[in-house]
């Protein structure tokens, strides 16, 4: 009996050590997905819990239901989503000592906005899996099962990504960047230009982003959804073209050091990973070998 009790105590102690050693994990899904889809976020949540027994994993739900969460990924103003998430994180006592985060597709740039706008609780590592940090210029594919929603999104983009009502209510327009008209982008973008510090400069955005221990950027080299895919590495199209792309180091955001990326790069805080697949189509070995280690 005594031996069993000692064994139980040892197991509990080991579990407690794992739980204390691994920071909580916050996940934000991409367009067309939801917090709890058993084939995507639900499965990844289980993978984290299996790899790190006892770890607290929060998969963000934007809205009052899973279906509303998916809908809000298309039609809820991103700034309102960021405010809501900041409130959720601050109110969650399990995150009080900080957390690591992982964002999938648009969830990547949304979590970066959280890091810049809401430094408490502290985000330590941010892993952006296919996030479009310089935005997109094109909408070739729309994921998910709701073709009606996708068709409505395309119609709104056709009206004009920078039209006020479209900017305020269509998520994908809020990280649209027109390489042929930079000034209009800066003037009318309600989200991307703002968090990239291209509108009214906010020193705290630069300061807060630099508090990250690591910013991990995952690019899908055969991406047929994100145009251009180099946006996943903070690059974009060269000004005045939608054919030639430039790396992060040649972009306005980097050269003007609007977000502190130069300092982060010099300090070894920026990490560039690549999956030779289409958008978000990484396999289990890529997840275990390339992504999991950032959450130890």
Check if 289 is active-site.
Answer: no
**260, two tokens:** 């502190």
C-alpha to C-alpha distance for 61 and 66, rounded to whole angstroms = 7
C-alpha to C-alpha distance for 216 and 195, rounded to whole angstroms = 18
C-alpha to C-alpha distance for 236 and 250, rounded to whole angstroms = 9
Check if 158 is active-site.
Answer: no
**192, two tokens:** 């991307």
89, 90, 92, 95: CA torsion to nearest 10: 80
Task: Extract the runs of DSSP E, i.e. beta strands, from 221-293.
Answer: 236-237, 245-246, 270-275
- Among candidate residues 33, 133, 223, 275, the one labeled active-site is 223
C-alpha to C-alpha distance for 121 and 128, rounded to whole angstroms = 19
For every residue of 75-99, DSSP letters joined together read HS-HHHHHHHHHHHHHH-GGGTT-E
- Among candidate residues 40, 59, 105, 189, the one labeled active-site is 105
* Measured CA distances, 74 to 41, 151, 152, 175, 256 (Å): 18, 11, 10, 12, 31
C-alpha to C-alpha distance for 239 and 282, rounded to whole angstroms = 31
Check if 124 is active-site.
Answer: no
Point out the residues that are catalytic.
Answer: 105, 223, 279
């Amino acid at each position: 009996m005594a031996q069993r009790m000692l064994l139980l105590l040892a197991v509990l102690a080991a579990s407690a050590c794992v739980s204390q050693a691994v920071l909580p994990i916050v996940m934000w899904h991409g367009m067309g997905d939801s917090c709890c889809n058993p084939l995507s976020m639900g499965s990844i949540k289980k993978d984290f819990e299996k790899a790190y027994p006892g770890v607290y994993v929060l998969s963000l739900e934007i809205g009052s239901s899973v279906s509303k969460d998916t809908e809000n990924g298309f039609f809820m103003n991103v700034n309102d989503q960021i405010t809501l998430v900041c409130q959720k994180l601050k109110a969650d006592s399990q995150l009080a000592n900080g957390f690591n985060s992982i964002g999938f597709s648009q969830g990547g740039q949304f979590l970066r906005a959280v890091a810049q706008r809401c430094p408490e609780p502290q985000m330590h590592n941010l892993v952006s899996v296919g996030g479009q940090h310089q935005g997109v210029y094109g909408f070739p594919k729309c994921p998910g099962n709701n073709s009606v929603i996708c068709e409505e999104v395309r119609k709104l983009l056709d009206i004009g990504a920078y039209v006020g009502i479209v900017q305020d209510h269509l998520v994908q327009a809020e990280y649209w960047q027109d390489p042929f008209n930079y000034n209009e982008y800066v003037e009318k973008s309600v989200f991307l230009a703002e968090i990239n510090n291209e509108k009214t400069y906010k020193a705290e955005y630069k300061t807060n982003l630099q508090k990250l221990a690591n910013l991990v950027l995952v690019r899908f080299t055969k991406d047929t959804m994100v145009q251009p895919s180099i946006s996943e590495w903070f690059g974009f199209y060269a000004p005045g073209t939608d054919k030639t792309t430039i790396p992060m180091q040649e972009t306005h955001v980097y050269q003007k050091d609007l977000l502190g990326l130069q300092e982060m790069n010099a300090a070894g805080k920026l990490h560039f990973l690549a999956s030779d697949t289409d958008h978000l189509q990484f396999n289990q070995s890529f997840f275990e070998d390339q992504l999991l280690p950032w959450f130890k």
